[in-house]
């Protein structure tokens, strides 16, 4: 039977009052809801009409989502993260109160309403997204699950790859970054075995143009770890 358990953390340190306020007051405004049946209407899910929609799976503290959302105000971005402290952190970025107390439960006035948060396992939403939903899918520093007996828990696996292919537009790309060489090799191998993707960024040690490092990436670089940047495009059917 397919194992759909989530093995990561859902909670960490106690959440500060100011962030709890954002979870109570801002999250309901920017949370994407899972329909009981049928598909999510992505073009009408944001406060803007998005030119494209991008998905970030496992956004951690949300720094990357917050930054790309500001840099690309005409793109709709869905961020998924089951770790509640991470969700609260992204809300603080969107609210403009990351380094201070939240004064309101609104988006910061310098932001457009182009982020939607799924505070749970993205696999729950997968069946509700139509084919060709996303122009970019980011999987940045996924949990490495280093033990061989846990390898099947790695997100880039034979069950999720066909869904990634279904959800990606024909010209879209999946971005995977990791500083665990074993994970990079595994991801390339799994994508290859699937026959659905081809790797298009040959110099995997070089970040793609306009790359925005995540919190994990910055920590890893500071500790001397070397990132691998993988970009995959769909193999188009002839």
Ligand X SMILES: C[S@@+](CC[C@H](N)C(=O)[O-])C[C@H]1O[C@@H](n2cnc3c(N)ncnc32)[C@H](O)[C@@H]1O
The residues annotated with a catalytic role in the active site are 143
**Contact status: 57 vs ligand X (CB under 6 A):** yes
**Contact status: 176 vs ligand X (CB under 6 A):** no
**How far is residue 50's CA from residue 114's CA, in Å, rounded to a whole number?**
8
Q: Are 32 and 117 in contact (CB under 8 A)?
A: yes
Other Cβ atoms closer than 10 A to 20: 14
**Contact status: 83 vs ligand X (CB under 6 A):** yes
Residue 109 C-beta: closest distance to ligand X, Å: 26
**Contact status: 129 vs ligand X (CB under 6 A):** no
**Contact status: 194 vs ligand X (CB under 6 A):** no
HSE-up (13 A, CA, CB side) for residue 160? 19
**Contact status: 86 vs ligand X (CB under 6 A):** yes
Burial class of 41 by CB neighbour count within 10 A (0 to 12, 13 to 18, 19+): exposed
**Contact status: 229 vs ligand X (CB under 6 A):** no
Which of 139/191 has CB closer to ligand X? Answer: 139
Residue 128, CA distances (Å) to 54, 81, 182 in order: 15, 17, 32
**How far is residue 86's CA from residue 141's CA, in Å, rounded to a whole number?**
14
Q: Which residue is nearest to ligand X (CB)?
A: 58
Residue 42 C-beta: closest distance to ligand X, Å: 18
The alpha-helical segments, DSSP class H, found in the chain are 17-25, 27-30, 63-71, 84-95, 122-125, 160-167, 181-194, 215-222
Residue 171 C-beta: closest distance to ligand X, Å: 24
**Contact status: 60 vs ligand X (CB under 6 A):** yes
**Contact status: 81 vs ligand X (CB under 6 A):** yes
Residue 61 C-beta: closest distance to ligand X, Å: 6
Residue 92, CA distances (Å) to 10, 26, 108, 126 in order: 18, 9, 9, 26
Stretch of 126-134, 137-145, 200-208, 230-238 contacting ligand X, by CB under 6 A: 137-145
Q: Which residues bind ligand X (CB under 6 A)?
A: 6, 8, 57-60, 80-83, 86, 121-123, 140-143, 155, 214-217
């Amino acid at each position: 039977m397919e194992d759909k358990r989530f093995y990561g953390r859902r909670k960490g340190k106690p959440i500060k009052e100011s962030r709890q306020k954002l979870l109570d007051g801002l999250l309901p405004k920017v949370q994407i809801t899972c329909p009981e049946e049928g598909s999510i209407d992505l073009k009408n899910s944001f406060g803007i009409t998005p030119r494209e929609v991008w998905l970030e799976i496992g956004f951690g503290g949300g720094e990357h989502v917050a930054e790309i959302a500001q840099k690309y105000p005409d793109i709709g971005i869905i961020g998924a993260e089951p770790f509640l402290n991470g969700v609260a952190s992204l809300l603080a970025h969107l609210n403009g109160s990351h380094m201070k107390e939240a004064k309101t439960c609104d988006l910061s006035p310098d932001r457009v309403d182009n982020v939607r948060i799924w505070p749970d396992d993205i696999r729950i939403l997968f069946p509700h997204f139509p084919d060709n939903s996303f122009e970019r899918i980011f999987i940045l520093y996924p949990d490495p699950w280093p033990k061989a007996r846990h390898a099947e828990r790695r997100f880039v696996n034979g069950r999720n790859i066909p869904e990634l292919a279904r959800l990606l537009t024909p010209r879209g790309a999946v971005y995977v970054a990791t500083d665990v060489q074993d994970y990079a090799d595994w991801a390339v191998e799994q994508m290859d075995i699937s026959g659905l993707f081809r790797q298009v960024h040959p110099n995997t040690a070089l970040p793609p143009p306009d790359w925005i490092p995540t919190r994990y990436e910055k920590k890893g670089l500071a500790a001397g770890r070397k990132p691998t940047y993988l970009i995959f495009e769909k193999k188009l059917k002839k």
